[in-house]
Chains A and B, each alone.
Chain A
Amino acid sequence: MSVDGSWKEGVEVLLMGNEAIARGALEAGVRVAAGYPGTPSSEIIETLSRFAQAGRLYVEWSTNEKVAMEVAAAASFAGLRSLCVMKQNGVNVASDFLLHLTGSGTRGGMVLVTCDDPGALSSVNEGESRHFARLMEIPLVEPADFQEAKEMTRWAFELSEEIRNVVLVRSVTRLSHASGNVVPGSLPVLGGKAEFLCDGPVSDPERGPVISAPVVQKHRLQQEKLRRAAQLFETSPFNVYAGPEKPELLIITSSACALYSREAVAILGAEGRAGILKIGTTWPLPPALLKRHLLGAEKVLIVEEVLPFIEDQVKIMAAEQAREIGIKTFYGKYDGTLPMAGELNPDLVAGAIGRILGIAAPSLPAAYREKLGELAALTPKREQTFCPGCPHRASYWIIREALQRDGRRGFVCGDIGCYAMAVLFQAAGFHTAKTLHAMGSGTGLASGFGKLGPFGMEQPAIAVCGDSTFYHAAVPALINAVHQGADLTFIALDNSGTAMTGFQPHPGTAVNAMGEAAPLVDIGALCASLGAPVFCGDPFDPVRTRETLNEILETEGVKVLVLKQSCALSPEKKGKKQFLVRVDETLCRGEDCGCNRLCTRIFRCPGLLWNREKKKAEIDEVICAGCGFCAGICPAGAIINEEAARA
């Protein structure tokens, strides 16, 4: 990602989708931006943080998405334009506040950008945030390319100010993390003093208290605002039609699917038969616009990700407009033309269009397909696992050995972060981690398991929680466990950063989103203040840490073990080896009884290789991070750590 601080007005530049969104917010004069790291959204706050300046732009990584939204809302109430950024599940976290915020309304323009992840490329769900627009009765716009990402975001602030409510801008991975040409616009002169006018009567949305009550009255007002947006949407330049006046097939699409649809039509050579209506103002869908286009076609295909959001609304409108437009044949997700799970791509869309229009979609040449098969057989199987030098591998090793000794079939309730891999790829976590849900859920679940003793539950539950996850969501669950007297071993994996999403800071790091020094909230101290016994350990000191864990597993109540060791990719460690590690082949036992490849078969750090000819283990000097942990597990003492020379 290239961040050119001097993006010039009118000079075309290659921008990532997230950068384009950030630029759009800057062009709208955003003053406050808050979010929580979540792929594929994180670069928006990161980009804005580079432009942060006291009094001009404040950028924050909040502890969770609900807090981020509240922080942004406060700026809006004080008359400033604010931006709130998250991935799809973040909206779920913020939804209770969003429900009340959309009821109370906003003042300074407030835009909620959500970046969904169809196909779950970096998520453990492919939930959709679009339905929140319908649920919360706010407008939703979806950019379909990079220029639009910028334009729409900028315009969304204007819309928000006009209707005095939040506007949802929804992006997807293939837009947020892809790059395209953008011509930046002008940056405004920033002005306006932050002031919260609240002395007026409750009925005054501009000068009274900001509340969602009286509810029914405010709800009606909210719906009026939405109707106003729908009016504006009828003539929005973000809804674009390209194709024949009366197409054989009308394709209604939005977001990245618009790009897939265009490409699919081109692949089939069907430009003369299919027309594409790209919707940018997805909710409320403008009925008059839709009627105009439905009139001209018999067959309608809706192409969107992931769930049939537009498809539902189009069919409802078609039913309402049936007398005028006639009966249509709809193709989409409900009839199986396109899948209702997973992301789409040009081939899938071309296949669908081809089936409807009776055009054979070109297939791969046989020779090419054969070559593909050959290459697939050659490519090494790479499984997802922790980085070399990752302290989580060491932590889970310790947990495994402790649980096996404990002997009561204990298990780990996992949580979100790099360490989630222990649940998704059981070998990476040495088969200890058995549940994975939302941020902080591991602690809540373990708190629940910890109350099942009277029902005959003998298996000890361990909650494993990262540092950022701790601040985000685990604290209320931990308080619950203490107060309810649950038997819970809580292990905090403190690797000094929000690593999985790109090493963003959090309250456990002494720096904030804008790179300034910031006060630290210590995890161990916070847990101790709850009244739970707190133990500290270093995952790279396995024997002592494992003994501590075995001892606390046998005690009742809530016990906290903080395992502190920084991420292998953190600034102080990245690229620097503490040890030069090598294998002494004369000592290596290899496949023999007495070892059976413990390091390459079970431990499986990517830095350890198995040489099939020599039948010995070896260290890949390029991949090895030099942490030295593997030397401690080799039963033959064949792995040697030499102190690396300090450069």
Chain B
Amino acid sequence: MLNTERKDDQAEKEIIRGGQRELAERVLDAGLCSGCGACVNICPYQAIYRDRTVVLHHCDLAQGRCYACCPGAPTDREGLLTGLYDAAELTPELGAVKGFYIARAADEGVRRGAQHGGTVTALVALALREGLIDAAVLADAGDGLLPRPATVREPEEALRLGKSRFVVSPAVAEFNRAAQGDAGRIGIVATPCQALALAKMRVQPVTAAYGGIEKLGLVVGLFCGWALSWRGLASLLGKKTDLAAITGMDIPPSRYHSLEVYTQGGIVSVSLDEVISCVRESCLSCPDMTAEFSDISVGSARLPEGWEAARSWNQVIVRTSRGAELLELARRKEIIEFREVPAGNLEKLKAAALNKKKAAERAAAAQNDSILKERTG
């Protein structure tokens, strides 16, 4: 179980205080907003509109949940990890690793309707079916690929929303909204930034009331190298195909250097050179590749046989006993099937994750340099 027992003063030290002003200055205006939605639907002062987090009215509180829960605000990740996970299982590259697997949905139909191995989709549908959660926050899309989170109650609806989006949807805003309704235990499929926001929400010291975080029942994390800005992606793809005809997308391993777009008329391959310019600015300083603040994290597999074999499998990191129990249940009910983990896979994953952490450090250092130059130049 996720450890929610924290000493108050420890929490105090780890959360750097601030309100809307700090949120605006240090995150929104600094290009560090990932669009997770944690600051939305907790108060009337922020909103997400067309993939942009906006301030609606001025809030003058010195300290607010918006800043306390924001993954783009300064965070003591180490403190948060040791507080929420078993210290013995923490790794420097991947966070807590209780277990590491290569797995996929046993049902080929589920795999086809979802992304890669369909593990996330299968697990969420199972959790709903078994009543472990009574609602799940997933990513849907509106007109023109505009990300739009959705809360589903039925397992079938979860099966329908299995495709990867590559644009962060404000899932935490949707969680905040759903938590005010009659859902009792809410699961969520979360990018690393969204999972971090939810973790910060569990320990924020600003206010006990009006939260809803106690309804969080399951966090399935997604591996993520970077996400794309909706505006950039929609503009780029709109030149190449009819956005309404897009059925899915994928980014194969880096050597393919492409974004694959599946449409009703066939596959459109877009060079990553064009796609890179659409990467959301906040992603450049994110150190988390495997969603370290989840119960269980899932990404696409890498296998010695190559991409054609690997693309229908997932890599799975179990982090908490809740995550372990869900995966075990899925194995027993034959919802999920497993294969042997090839030697060196975990090391390769750690190396990739470490690269992202180094890149984030470099980006942070560069930003500090430019701020210094501005102030002294």
- Chain A positions within 8 Å of B, measured between CB atoms, are 400-401, 404-407, 430, 550, 589, 591-596, 598, 602, 633, 635-636
> Are A633 and B44 touching (Cβ within 8 A)?
yes
Contact A593 B56 (CB under 8 A): no
Residue B52, interface by CB 8 Å: yes
B221 at the interface (CB under 8 A from A): no
Q: What 0/1 pattern do residues 54 to 84 of B give for CB contact below 8 A with A?
A: 1111111101111000000000000000000
B61 touches A596 (CB 8 A): yes
Give A256 Cβ to nearest chain B Cβ, in Å.
43
* B50: A residues at CB distance < 8 A: 405
How far, in angstroms, from A406 to B55 measured CA to CA in the complex? 11
A404 to B50, CA, bound (A): 12
CB distance from A404 to the nearest CB of B (A): 5
Q: A593-B65, A635-B43 are in contact. Are A400 and B57 (CB under 8 A)?
A: yes
| Further pairs besides A404-B54, A407-B52: 19, Cβ < 8 Å | A404-B56, A405-B54, A405-B56, A407-B54, A430-B57, A550-B49, A589-B210, A592-B210, A593-B42, A593-B43, A593-B206, A593-B210, A594-B42, A594-B207, A594-B209, A594-B210, A596-B43, A596-B59, A596-B61
Roughly how many angstroms separate A401 CA and B58 CA in the complex, as a whole number?
12
Q: How far is the CA of A602 from the CA of B61 in the complex (A)?
A: 13
6 tightest CB-CB pairs across the interface, nearest first? A405-B49, A594-B210, A593-B64, A635-B44, A594-B43, A602-B57
In the complex, what's the smallest C-beta–C-beta distance from B68 to chain A, in angstroms? 9
B284 on interface, CB distance cutoff 8 Å: no
Tell me if A400 and B56 are in contact (CB < 8 A): yes
Q: What are 23 A-B pairs with beta-carbon distances under 8 A?
A: A400-B56, A401-B47, A404-B54, A404-B57, A405-B52, A405-B54, A406-B49, A407-B49, A407-B52, A589-B209, A592-B209, A593-B61, A593-B63, A593-B206, A594-B43, A594-B207, A595-B43, A595-B44, A596-B60, A596-B61, A598-B57, A602-B58, A636-B210
Known: A407-B54, A593-B63. A598 touches B44 (CB 8 A): yes
Given A405-B49, A633-B44, A635-B43 in contact, is the A592-B207 Cβ separation under 8 Å?
yes
Q: Which residue of A lies closest to B210 (CB)?
A: A594
Measured CB to CB, the closest approach of chain A to B93, in angstroms, equals 35
Cα A400 to Cα B45 with chains together (Å)? 12
Q: How far is the CA of A396 from the CA of B99 in the complex (A)?
A: 56
Q: Which residue of B lies closest to A401 (CB)?
A: B56
CB distance from A254 to the nearest CB of B (A): 49
Question: A441 vs B51: C-alpha distance in the bound complex, in angstroms?
Answer: 35
Q: Using Cβ atoms and an 8 Å threshold, which residues of chain B touch A596?
A: 43, 45, 59-61
Name, among B45, B49, B57, the residue most crowded by chain A CB atoms within 10 Å (CB to CB): B57
> Considering the chains assembled together, what is the distance between the CA atoms of A598 and B45 in angstroms?
9
The total of chain B residues at the interface (CB under 8 A) is: 24
Q: For residues 151 through 187 of chain B, which have their beta carbon under 8 Å from a beta carbon of chain A?
A: none
- Smallest beta-carbon distance A243→chain B, Å: 60
* Chain B residue, CB-CB nearest to A405: B49
| Complexed CA–CA distance, A404 and B52 (Å) | 10
CB distance from B291 to the nearest CB of A (A): 27
Neighbouring B residues of A400 by C-beta, 8 Å:
56-57
Interface class of chain B by DSSP: loop
Docked-complex contact A404 and B44, CB < 8 angstroms: no
Q: Complex formed: what's the CA distance from A635 to B65 in Å? A: 15
How distant is the Cα of A244 from the Cα of B210 in the complex, in angstroms?
A: 80
A632 CB to closest chain B CB (Å) equals: 11
A154 to chain B, nearest CB (A): 56
B contact residues around A589 at 8 Å (CB):
209-210
Asked if B65 contacts A594 (CB within 8 A), the reply is: yes
Check B47–A405 contact: CB distance below 8 A: yes
Nearest A residue to B58, CB-CB: A602
What 1/0 flags go to B30-52 for Cβ under 8 Å of A?
00000000000011110101101
Assembly CA distance A550 to B47 (angstroms): 14
> CA A602 – CA B58 in complex, angstroms?
8
Q: State how many angstroms separate the Cβ of B268 from the closest Cβ of chain A.
A: 26
Q: How far is the CA of A594 from the CA of B43 in the complex (A)?
A: 4
Chain B contacts for A595, CB-based, 8 A: 43-44
A459 to B63, CA, bound (A): 32
Contacts of B60 in A (CB 8 A): 596
Question: Which residues of B are found within 8 Å of A598, using beta-carbon distances?
Answer: 44-45, 57
In the complex formed, the residue of B with least CB distance to A402 is: B49
Query: Which residues of the other chain, A, contact B43 by a CB distance below 8 angstroms?
Result: 593-596, 635
Chain B residues in 8 Å Cβ range of A593 = 42-43, 61, 63-66, 206-207, 210
Docked pose: A593 CA to B49 CA in angstroms = 22
**Distance (whole angstroms) from the CB of A590 to the closest CB of chain B:** 11
Chain B residue nearest to A636 (CB atoms) is B210
Most chain B Cβ neighbours within 10 Å, of A550, A589, A594, A636: A594
- Chain B: which residue is nearest A592 at the CB level? B207
> Please, how many angstroms separate the alpha-carbon atoms of A636 and B212 in the complex?
13
Cα distance A598–B44 in the bound complex, in angstroms: 8
Q: Which residues of B contact A401 (CB under 8 A)?
A: 47, 56
| Nearest neighbor of B65 in chain A, beta-carbon distance | A593
- Find the residue from B44, B55, B66, B210 having the highest chain A CB count within 10 A: B44
Q: Which residues on A sit within 8 Å (CB–CB) of B210?
A: 589, 592-594, 636
Mark contacts of B183-217 with chain A using CB atoms, 8 A cut-off: 1 yes-contact digit, 0 otherwise: 00000000000000000000000110110000000
| Interfacial chain A residues near B207, Cβ < 8 Å | 592-594
With the chains together, A591 CA to B60 CA distance in Å?
10
Taking the closest CB of chain B, its distance from the CB of A549, in whole angstroms, is 12
For the complex, give the distance between the alpha carbons of A602 and B63 in Å: 18
Alpha-carbon distance A168/B299, docked complex (angstroms): 85
CA distance A568 to B40 in the complex (A): 33
- Give the residue among A404, A592, A593, A598 with the most B Cβ atoms within 10 A: A593
Shortest B53–chain A CB gap in Å is 10
Q: Which residue of A lies closest to B53 (CB)?
A: A407
CB distance from B342 to the nearest CB of A (A): 47
Contacts of A635 in B (CB 8 A): 43-44
The answer for the CA separation of A596 and B64 in the assembled complex, in Å, is 10
- Complex Cα–Cα for A602 and B55 (A): 13
In whole angstroms, how far apart are the Cα atoms of A78 and B43 in the complex? 67
Measured between beta carbons, the chain B residues less than 8 angstroms from A405 are 47, 49-50, 52, 54, 56
Q: In the complex, what residues of A have CB within 8 A of residue B65's CB?
A: 593-594
Give every chain B residue within 8 A of A407 (Cβ-Cβ): 49, 52, 54
Q: Which residue of A lies closest to B47 (CB)?
A: A405
Which residue of the partner chain B has the closest CB to A595? B43
Measured CB to CB, the nearest residue on chain A to B67 is: A593
Docked CA distance A635–B54 (Å)? 17
Please give the distance in Å from B40's CB to the nearest CB on chain A: 12
> Which of chain B's residues has its CB closest to A430's CB?
B57
**Across-interface contacts of A594 in B (CB, < 8 A):** 42-43, 65, 207, 209-210
Residues of chain B in range 1-56 having any CB-CB distance to chain A below 8 Å: 42-45, 47, 49-50, 52, 54-56
Residue in chain B with minimal CB distance to A406: B49
Residues of A within 8 A of B47 (CB): 401, 404-405
Complex: A550 Cα to B54 Cα, angstroms = 14
Q: Could you tell me the distance between the alpha carbons of A550 and B49 in the complex, rounded to whole angstroms?
A: 10
Whole-angstrom distance between the Cβ of B8 and the nearest chain A Cβ = 17
Determine the residue in chain A with the shortest Cβ distance to B57: A602
How long is the Cα–Cα vector from A589 to B42 in the complex, in angstroms? 12
A633 vs B56: C-alpha distance in the bound complex, in angstroms?
Answer: 12
CA distance A600 to B121 in the complex (A): 46
Which partner residue on chain B sits nearest A598 by CB separation? B44
Q: Which residue of A lies closest to B49 (CB)?
A: A405
Q: Nearest Cβ distance between residue A181 and chain B, in whole angstroms?
A: 53
Q: How far is the CB of B33 from chain A (nearest CB, A)?
A: 12
A401-B43 Cα distance, complex, nearest whole Å = 14
Task: Give the CA-CA distance A591 to B47 in the complex, in Å.
Answer: 20
B45: which A residues are within 8 A, CB to CB? 596, 598
Shortest beta-carbon distance, A605 to chain B, in Å? 15
> In the complex, how many angstroms separate the beta carbon of B70 from the nearest chain A beta carbon?
13
B50 and chain A: residue at smallest CB distance: A405
Instruction: Give CA–CA (A633, B44) in the complex, Å.
Output: 8
Instruction: Give Cα distance in the complex from A404 to B207, angstroms.
Output: 27
Q: How far is the CA of A398 from the CA of B60 in the complex (A)?
A: 21
Within the complex, the shortest CB–CB distance from B7 to chain A, in Å, comes to 22
